[in-house]
Structure 1
Amino acid sequence: MTVSFPDLLVLLGSLQGSILAVLLWRNRQGNPLANRLLATLMALLAAACFSIGVPLTPWTSLLLDVVPLIIVMPVGPIIYFYTQTLLDNSFQLGRRQQLHFLAALLDIGKQGIVWLYLIALWLGLTSYADRGWWADLKHHYDTLVDIPGWLSLTVYLGLALRAVNRHEQANPSPSTQATGQLRWLHALLRVWCSFQVLWLLFLIPYQLPAFRDTLLDKVGYYPLYVPLVGLIYWIGLRGYLHALRTVEPQARKATTVTWPAQLIETTLQQLQQAMQQDELYLDADLSVERVGKHLGVAPKLISATLNQHLGKSFNTFINEYRVAAVQAKLLDPSSQNSTILGVAFACGFNSQATFQRSFRGVTGLTPKQYLQNEQLVKK
């Protein structure tokens, strides 16, 4: 059994993607969710490359027929949620976000047809002589499913780019770490957009029956999968190194700086006054740098004060005040004509997901449950 050079290249890419997936999944530095999303992306790309590069034998052909290895539909949501995770460290995959991955059912349709044929054959509902009809059905499905795959990835790349642009507009003076995150995201999304153009150039003749067979006979799927190998190396390695760079310098600095207890106590009082009297939390674009500028203290001192004295992150501290303001406004008769989300935005939240998560974290209830409980108490 011989393996051609392009197949060997694609198989090596699959091996590299698998290794990077394991390293990213087990990496404890950086944002855990971001690492695991990127690991999942590497695993999906590695599986797809394996399905193209593996030499065809009766056993590997059977494997490709019954096991879905080319899973495209989750790639777009993964990139989009990875982007959101880097832009917002408190971002989590809730039930609503998980629904985005249901489209992956389209990717298993080809193998589903094979399994349906085998089950129907076993039950006597079809015969071996009908296998040609089932094969044609599988082939047509496999060809057409690439269209929603391309459209899905394109839409999610657009959503990711919009999220990055909105974040930059809301934070015109980002921290050094945030600047690094944005630079990495811009590079990642540009590379994926370039791949989308390449995929479209391949997809158009591939979808036309007059050109499909000629295209596959002459170049196969290599115009897509050889660049995909490059994506695996570049995204996996750079993403892994990015996670290391964004954490290690901070960890070293945190261990070398010790703030006096009196200074910590004074800073905490200033922070509480800035929230309770100045109501800085109403600023939807509030950052630790802006609070530091308002108080005339170093942002690092603010973070250290919250971590050492309250055991909270800056975002958690701010969002608790916002939740308290939302609770008060929801019970205010003058806010009866406002929506819950409108009240949340008026109190400083700029994301529905962050608001829902923060409100439940503070009260143990959803906003609707909180209102219902308060109405029952009044009765």
Structure 2
Amino acid sequence: MNISIGIIDFLMLALVVQGLILAIVLAFSSGRIHSNRYIAAFIFVVAESTLLMELDYLGLVQKYPWLLTAVVPLNMALGPLVYLYARSLAFGAVTPRRKILIHFVPTVLYAKHQVIFILYVLGVLSVPLVSNLYVLPITQKILFGFNSLSLIPAFLSLVIYSLVTYNMVSGGINSEDLSAYRKADLKWIKMLVQIVFVLISIWFVSIVAGYLFPIPDLEPWFHYCLYIPAIVFVYWLGMMVYKRQRIMSRDEMQEYIKQPVKTHFKDDEASDYYDQLKKLMIADNLYMNPVLKVDMLAARLSIPEKGLSNLLNQYVGKNFNDFVNEFRVEEAKRKLIDPRYGNFTIAAIALECGFNSLATFQRVFKQITGVTPSQYQTNAKKSFVEK
């Protein structure tokens, strides 16, 4: 059998290879950010599914039947990976391994070739009763036949998990208990799930079209319409996640991955300490110190470092970086519209307000205000002119 590869198949295989490599790189570079491992697995599953589709339509599965046993379709894992990624990224939740594995048990539904191979090796298929059942046409059709309806379990799994994820994210965006980082992550996840819904819609159309028009020449195109945008999406997704991971500073990384701190203050004690903390920050402009750390601020309050972290998490609902950066952003907002700083660049203003770099300043400023520093400055000037 001669294998002919068209330009579309060649480009898709190239994207598949890049997607698999990107998934591996992202998984090994994620460090302690467990959420990135879920998205790496998601990229891997989409790339693997695209590869299996290509192997089928290029005739390689027919030429090398052992491929069916060597590769397990993982479509049922797509939905759980979307949910676990969102949960881990948005809330920093570390799910016990046993509970994680439960989500992936249904994946065995698509491991029929592997199950058949194991039964063959164990000699179960040679048992007369099993053998007679195995050779029935209806059994062979169920086990080895393929049509669009066979994708329905994976499709429904992705739909259900995506809806649950979207509902969880939408409910969390307005929560006052989350830090600015977490809220930014929720908006990021919400956008990703919306894109997944678009892909689900395309998938639904391809399933219906494949069922209504079972024409061999058209069947590959039904799949191309789904897999091309899907593989492009996960390639873009991998690059964006890797980029987001790389631009985080060391301090931000530590603040980002740490687990929630247990609370120890009563409400009246927390309120008193918080009032002292705000007065101290405003009176001495401590936030303008670019190397301000938790221990330095705790020493000024005469409480342990852990006590300050507890105070911020319990009473303020923010981590240390978010708390300090809000003061810095407010100071930056004043300086951006102050004529006395008209000759200052945005980078200079960032340094004046205690930020270590322009990139960090721009990212934090947009997370808190919703606009970039330059947009805020432009909008303020327009508002002043209109008045």
Q: Same fold (TM over 0.5)?
A: yes
3-state DSSP class of the match of 1:275?
A: coil
Q: Which residue of structure 2 lines up, in the alignment, with residue 45 of structure 1? A: 46
Larger displacement relative to structure 2 (188-197 or 43-52): 43-52
Q: Which residue of structure 2 lines up, in the alignment, with residue 102 of structure 1? A: 105
Preserved contact between residue 83 and residue 164 of structure 2 (Cα < 8 Å): yes
Q: Which residue of structure 2 lines up, in the alignment, with residue 323 of structure 1? A: none
Alignment of 1:26-105 (within 5 A): 26-28=28-30, 31-54=32-55, 55-57=58-60, 61-105=64-108
Structure 1 position 133, deviation (Å):
4.8
Structure 1 position 197, deviation (Å):
0.7
How far apart in 1 are the matches of 2:76 and 2:308? 35
Query: Normalising by the residue count of structure 1, what TM-score does the alignment of the two structures yield?
Result: 0.63
How far apart in 1 are the matches of 2:276 and 2:131? 76
Q: Which residue of structure 2 lines up, in the alignment, with residue 226 of structure 1? A: 228
Structure 1 position 235, deviation (Å):
1.2
Letter in 2 for 1:9: L
Alignment of 1:1-379 (within 5 A): 1-28=3-30, 31-54=32-55, 55-57=58-60, 61-113=64-116, 116=119, 119=123, 122=126, 126=131, 130=135, 133-140=138-145, 143-171=148-176, 174-175=179-180, 177-206=181-210, 208=211, 210-213=212-215, 216-217=218-219, 219=221, 221-247=223-249, 250=252, 275-276=265-266, 278=268, 295-296=277-278, 301-302=293-294, 314=309
Structure 1 position 19, deviation (Å):
0.8
Structure 1 position 144, deviation (Å):
3.7
Specify every segment of 5 or more residues in structure 1 that has no aligned partner in the other structure, as ranges.
Answer: 255-270, 282-290, 320-379
Q: Which residue of structure 1 lines up, in the alignment, with residue 326 of structure 2? A: none
3-state DSSP class of the match of 1:278?
A: helix
Structure 1 position 245, deviation (Å):
2.6
Letter in 1 for 2:215: D
How far apart in 2 are the matches of 1:312 and 1:65? 58
Using a 3 Å threshold, how does the CA distance of structure 1 residues 120 and 112 change in structure 2: closer, same or farther? Answer: same
How far apart in 2 are the matches of 1:94 and 1:279? 38
Structure 1 position 205, deviation (Å):
2.8
Query: Normalising by the residue count of structure 2, what TM-score does the alignment of the two structures yield?
Result: 0.61
Q: Which residue of structure 2 lines up, in the alignment, with residue 355 of structure 1? A: none
Structure 1 position 180, deviation (Å):
3.4
3-state DSSP class of the match of 1:151?
A: helix
Using a 3 Å threshold, how does the CA distance of structure 1 residues 251 and 82 change in structure 2: closer, same or farther? Answer: closer
Give a deviation string over 1:188-245, Cα, whole Å, max 9, x none.
1111111011111111233x3x523357446252121111211221111111112223
Give a deviation string over 1:307-326, Cα, whole Å, max 9, x none.
x965799479958xxxxxxx
Letter in 2 for 1:21: A
Preserved contact between residue 71 and residue 107 of structure 1 (Cα < 8 Å): yes
Letter in 2 for 1:181: D
3-state DSSP class of the match of 1:74?
A: helix
Give a deviation string over 1:257-316, Cα, whole Å, max 9, x none.
xxxxxxxxxxxxxx99x81452659xxxxxxxxx9678316697558768x965799479
Give a deviation string over 1:40-85, Cα, whole Å, max 9, x none.
1122122112112234246764133223442111111111111111
How far apart in 2 are the matches of 1:222 and 1:62? 23
How many residue pairs get aligned? The number is 289
Specify every segment of 5 or more residues in structure 2 that has no aligned partner in the other structure, as ranges.
Answer: 257-261, 282-286, 315-387
Preserved contact between residue 42 and residue 232 of structure 1 (Cα < 8 Å): yes
Quote the RMSD (CA, aligned, Å). Answer: 4.1
Structure 1 position 178, deviation (Å):
3.1
How far apart in 1 are the matches of 2:269 and 2:170? 27
How far apart in 2 are the matches of 1:143 and 1:22? 30
3-state DSSP class of the match of 2:5?
A: coil
Letter in 2 for 1:275: F
Preserved contact between residue 169 and residue 186 of structure 2 (Cα < 8 Å): yes
Using a 3 Å threshold, how does the CA distance of structure 1 residues 220 and 158 change in structure 2: closer, same or farther? Answer: closer
